[in-house]
Amino acid sequence: MLYDNRVPQHHYQTATLPPRVPEQFVQSADAQLNIEFDGTTVLCRVCGDKASGFHYGVHSCEGCKGFFRRSIQQKIQYRPCTKNQQCSILRINRNRCQYCRLKKCIAVGMSRDAVRFGRVPKREKARILAAMQQSTNSKCQEKALAAELEDDSRLLRTVVKAHLETCDFTRDKVAPMILRAREQPSFTASPPTLACPLNPNPQPLTGQQELLQDFSKRFSPAIRGVVEFAKRIPGFSLLSQEDQVTLLKAGVFEVLLVRLACMFDTQNNSMICLNGQVLKKDSIHSGSNARFLMDSMFDFAERLNSLKLTDPEIGLFSSIVVIAPDRPGLRNTELIEKMQNKLKSGLHMMMAQNHPSQPGLAQELMRKIPDLRTLNTLHSEKLLAFKMTEQQHLAEQQHEMWGSMVGEEESKSPGTWSSGSELGMEEVKSPLGSVSSTESMCSGEVASLNEYHSHAASAPLLAATLAGCPMRHRDQDMKVPHRFRKLDSPSDSGIESGTE
Identify the pLDDT of residue 7: 38
CATH of domain 23-137: 3.30.50.10
Tell which wins on pLDDT, 315 or 122: 315
pLDDT category at 324 given cuts 50, 70, 90 is very high
pLDDT category at 317 given cuts 50, 70, 90 is very high
Tell which wins on pLDDT, 451 or 106: 106
Domain boundaries, the chain: 23-137, 149-403+414-500
Tell which wins on pLDDT, 314 or 480: 314
Q: What is the pLDDT of residues 129-146, one digit of tens each?
A: 776 666 667 777 777 777
Identify the pLDDT of residue 283: 64
Residue 99 has pLDDT above 50, yes or no: yes
- Dist. CA 335–CA 338, nearest whole Å: 5
Identify the pLDDT of residue 215: 52
Share of the chain above pLDDT 90, in %: 21
Q: Which range among 92-96, 110-114, 203-207 shows the weakest confidence by mean pLDDT? A: 203-207
Cα separation values, 73 from 45, 63, 67, Å: 21, 15, 10
CB neighbour class for 130 (10 Å; exposed up to 12, middle 13-18, buried from 19): exposed
Architecture of domain 149-403+414-500: Orthogonal Bundle (1.10)
Tell which wins on pLDDT, 367 or 183: 367
Q: What is the pLDDT of residues 244-255, one digit of tens each?
A: 999 998 998 899
What is the model's pTM? Answer: 0.55
Contact 474, 382 (CB under 8 A): no
Residue 349 has pLDDT above 70, yes or no: yes
Give the pairing type, strands 278-280 and 270-272.
Answer: antiparallel
Across the chain, mean pLDDT equals 68
Mean pLDDT, to the nearest integer, of 222-245?
Answer: 90
Identify the pLDDT of residue 33: 47
Q: What is the pLDDT of residues 206-222, one digit of tens each?
A: 444 554 555 556 667 88
Tell which wins on pLDDT, 413 or 278: 278
**Helix segments in 275-332, DSSP class H:** 281-285, 291-306, 311-322
Identify the pLDDT of residue 343: 94
Half-sphere exposure of 377 (CA within 13 A, CB side): 12
Contact 290, 467 (CB under 8 A): yes
- Residues in Cβ contact with 396 at an 8 Å cutoff, skipping those fewer than 6 apart: 414, 478
